[in-house]
Amino acid sequence: MPLESATLDSVSEDLRAALGDDILEVTENWGHLIVRVPPERRPEALAVLKAIGFDFYSFGCGVDWPDEDVLEVLDNVFSTKRMARVTVKCRVPRSTPRVPTATGVYGGADWHERETWELFGIVFAGHPRLRRLLLADWQEGFPMRKDEVLRPRVEKPWPGEFFEA
């Protein structure tokens, strides 16, 4: 059953009613809603979504945009009742990446936030145990940021480029 845009309209109306001016932007993207909120309002936005039926926490992750000097935090939630999906985005500066945690809203955000923290260096303030999840203790830096290069590719460029000529 494909998602209908009528459901998405009702979702964005509900969101605007609850969050008001906190919503910076709502766009529709391939049948999903993308909602941009200020970083400090992330838990509230997710709490509102949970209250209006978005019960499934799909995933959370980070994106690095070095050109704009921001790091982005994505939270993807799904509603099994309304069959709609919303991605909540908030942008933080790369120098002080800090957003409040959403573990109090969705229990499932716990591991996703720990992963984003160690891979992107985004600090989730108030997280109960912000510890390494996937990486070893000796690992330095934040490997998923764009300025961390994949070392073998620097040493030896991919030979597949040869075919492009």
Partner 1 sequence: MTTVETKGYFTATTERDISTGDMVLNIGPQHPSTHGVLRVVVRLDGERVVEAEPVLGYMHRAFEKLAEQRSPLQNTALFNRLDWISGFCNEVPYCIACEKLAGIEVPKRAQVQRVILLELTRLASHSLFCGVFGLELGALTAPMYGYRDREYALDLLEMVTGQRMHTNWSRIGGVKDDFPEGFYERVPAILEYYRTRVEQWLGFLIDNDVFVDRTRGIGVLPPSIALEYGVSGPNLRASGVSMDVRKEEDYLGYADYDFEVPVGEYGDCFDRYVQRVREMWESCNIVEQALDDLEPGPVNTGTGRLFKVPPGEIYIRSEGPRGEMGYYLISNGGREPYRLKIRTGSFSNISVLPYLLRGIYVPDIVAILGSLDFVVGDVDR
Q: Which residues bind partner 1 (CB under 8 A)?
A: 1-2, 29-30, 32, 55-59, 61, 63-64, 74, 76, 80, 83, 85, 87, 106-108, 110-111, 119, 132-136, 143-144, 148, 150, 153, 158, 160, 163-164
Nearest partner of 122 among 44, 164, 61, 31, judged by Cα:
61
Please, which residue, 16 or 50, has the CB nearer to partner 1?
50
How many CA atoms within 13 Å lie on the side-chain side of 146? 12
Q: Kindly state the smallest distance separating residue 114's Cβ from partner 1, in Å.
A: 10
To the nearest whole angstrom, how small is the minimum distance from the Cβ of residue 33 to partner 1?
11
- 110 vs 124, which CB is nearer to partner 1? 110
Q: Which is nearer to partner 1, 21 or 67 (CB)?
A: 67
CA distances from 23 to 8, 99, 165 (A): 15, 16, 47
Nearer Cβ to partner 1 (19/74): 74
Question: Which residues lie across from 65 on neighbouring strands?
Answer: 70
Minimum distance, C-beta of residue 89 to partner 1, in the bound complex (Å): 10
Cβ within 8 Å of residue 93, ≥6 positions away:
69, 70, 71
Residue 8 sits at φ, ψ, to 5 deg, of -65, -40
Closest approach of Cβ 165 to partner 1, in Å? 11
Q: What are residue 28's phi and psi, to 5 degrees?
A: -100, 135
Residue with smaller CB distance to partner 1, 108 or 121: 108
14 Cβ neighbours under 8 A, 6+ residues apart: 48, 52
DSSP assignment, residue 2? P
**Closest distance to partner 1 from the beta carbon of 6 (Å):** 16
